[in-house]
Chain A
Amino acid sequence: MIPARALRRGKSRLMVVLMAIAVVVAVLPLFLILGSLIVRGASSLSLSFFLSRPAPAGEVGGGVAHAISGTLMIVGMAAAAGIPIGVAAGLYASEFRETRLATITRFVADVLNGTPSIVVGILAWTWVVATQRHFSALAGSFALAVLMVPMVMRTTEELVRLVPDSLREAALALGYTRWRTTLVVVLRTALPGIVTGSLLAVARIAGETAPLLFTALGSEYFSFDPDRPMAALPLVVYKYATGPYPEWHKLAWTASLVLILVVLALSIAARIATRQRFERS
């Protein structure tokens, strides 16, 4: 009797130890990757990295300013189109949650969130690049906007749902119309959460490379014309990492470091925004 019990206890303890090891193994890559980025990327961080264009292939120096401005512009245009549509769709799914369209939208958004981004790139290529017969930043923004809509929709929906029904009822009882209730009371209450969701979505698409490969294409020059090919940080990382020159590899590490700092800053800002929301309520 006692040995059997000890055996069971022992097994329980063994499993716990194994799981604790799993945690260490799972956390390790984050530190390894961040460590390599800092060690290999930080040394090339300089003012010229942020302010100048790439030097001719194989030469020392140069920067990725063209890609930083390109990413800001491509992601900015995508966010300007994707966030409002996503928020509106999320509002529909939470304020009219019993309708069949809400259920379908919710489910399809989940499915689209798992769709490979390169497939969305093909859609942007077919609709924008193939019809205009040239690559353009606009096509890249379109692809990213398509990726954003279902992401923003789901977070908006989940956060707007948290707004208590008593608030809606109070507004309606005061004679507010449905649309003013939704926009002035519900949306405003859920706003910090929606900001969080949008920031997370921006963080995710800022690092997207695959859908830009055959839409925005990349470029070696400064460009602010949405109708022409444009550089972006992830594209620069890809090109320089797979290129033959050690100087390029250095730039790829530094560009990655910048990219990851932007993405992590957005993710952390998003988390802080939600925390404030919970503290307030």
Chain B
Amino acid sequence: MTDESLARSSRGDTIFKWSLMAAACTIPALLLALLYELTQGAWPAARAFGTEFLFSSTWDPVAGVFGAWPAIVGTLLTSFLALAMAVPLALGVAIYLTEFAPVPIRRPIATVIELLAAIPSVVYGLWGIFVLIPFLQTSVFPFLQQHLGFLPFFSGPIYGPSVLAAALILTIMIVPFIMSVSREVLLAVPSAQREAAVALGATRWEAVSTAIVPFAKSGLIGAVILGLGRALGETMAVTMVIGNRHDVSASLFAPGYSLAAVIANEFADAAGGPIHESALIYMALLLFGVTVLVNAVARLLIWRVSRGRGGV
């Protein structure tokens, strides 16, 4: 090769490297842009209402007074309820599929469950409105009220669209996520872990509970937190079944609201003008901040296991 062509090729390499680098930079840039624009947009509301915004239940677009308390409570309540129901289910499936199921059916079952994650959120919402809610309203809610009605969560009038309906839809939606991430984490556990436990006389379940799960612990916690992040930010399905009421009620049968649902319902025509818009962007900022934090923690935990450093 002549000197000239060498120089030309290295120039090509430089251009190539820089253009790939520019593409890679768009990703961190998007994160910063989101943070900046949301903070900028939320600023008027943050200045007008301060921390009162977080704890007030008033939502009055006409008077221009906004408080996110009911939506914050609704978001946390539905997400944690969903997590409580989804985690045992998803971890059970993940452990079964990596340790116990007959080998030929492992992948097909995992694939079928992962297809659940491919269903658009709006379709879950449609199914929730016309199938799940009527079923809950006629059979499950009355049953719960009859037997557990002495608890405040299961008392009061039965509405169809409700916090509990939203939590159930969320459960169905996050099981596939938690399942598929935990499954990958469990597959990354070295088989020496398992073999050692069995060689010491452990039953198959004891091998799982004493040797495999503890090794994979931080990754499994990561998978669960990832599921929490999904639940917190889930928008359409929750909007369609939660009942959309700016109110906090002790009863899970009562309608409620979530941060994402408020934004979905009110942002397109924010009747209360710029301050209404700003209050909604403030909510989006809260949602963004929490989900970024939750996802960052989850990813760090999962990376720890997949790099082979088990969290014991």
Which positions in A face B, CB cutoff 8 Å? 8-9, 11-12, 15-16, 18-20, 22-23, 25-27, 29-30, 32-33, 36-37, 40, 84-86, 88-89, 91-93, 95-96, 101-102, 104-105, 107-120, 122-123, 125-127, 135, 146, 149-150, 153, 175, 177-180, 182-183, 203-204, 206-210, 213-214, 217, 234, 237-238, 241-242, 249, 252-253, 256, 259-260, 263-264, 267, 271
Contact = CB atoms under 8 A, between A and B. Distances in A.
Interface in B247-290: 260, 263-264, 267-268, 281, 284, 287-288
B88 A22 contact: yes
A114 B38 contact: no
Closest 8 CB pairs of A and B: A207-B120, A116-B233, A88-B23, A22-B92, A179-B16, A12-B205, A19-B96, A114-B295
Contact of A256 (B126, B208, B288): B126
B287 A126 contact: no
Contacts of B33: 123
Nearest to A176: B9
B30 A118 contact: no
B62 interface: no
A250 to B, nearest CB: 11
B290 to A, nearest CB: 10
Contacts of A208: 120-121
Interface residues of B, number: 88
B118 A22 contact: no
Given A108-B31, A153-B27, A115 B233 contact: yes
Given A95-B20, A238-B125, A12 B206 contact: yes
B140 interface: no
A118 B20 contact: no
Contacts of B30: 108, 112, 146, 149-150
A167 B38 CA distance: 45
Interface in B65-112: 88-90, 92-93, 95-97, 100-101, 109, 111-112
Interface in B229-254: 229-230, 232-236, 240
B24 A207 contact: no
A123 B37 contact: yes
Contact of B38 (A11, A16, A119, A267): A119
Q: Secondary structure at chain B's binding surface: helix, strand, loop or mixed?
A: helix
Interface string B176-212: 1001000000000000000000000001111010000
Contacts, number: 261
A115 B230 CA distance: 8
Contacts of B233: 114-119
A264 B206 contact: no
B268 to A, nearest CB: 4
B230 to A, nearest CB: 7
B122 A209 contact: yes
30 contacts: A11-B203, A19-B96, A20-B101, A22-B92, A23-B93, A30-B116, A37-B127, A89-B23, A92-B23, A101-B25, A108-B28, A109-B27, A110-B295, A111-B295, A116-B234, A116-B287, A118-B264, A118-B284, A119-B233, A122-B267, A122-B281, A150-B27, A207-B122, A209-B235, A214-B267, A238-B240, A242-B240, A260-B123, A263-B118, A264-B115
Nearest to A179: B16
Contacts of B31: 108, 111-112
Contacts of A37: 123, 127
Contact of A33 (B93, B124, B226): B124
Nearest to A150: B27
Contacts of B48: none
B92 A19 contact: yes
B175 interface: yes
A25 B175 CA distance: 10
Given A101-B25, A253-B126, A256-B123, A91 B230 contact: no
Contacts of A119: 34, 38, 233, 284, 287-288, 291
Contacts of A256: 122-123, 126
B118 A204 contact: yes
A256 B208 CA distance: 41
Contact of A203 (B26, B118, B292): B118
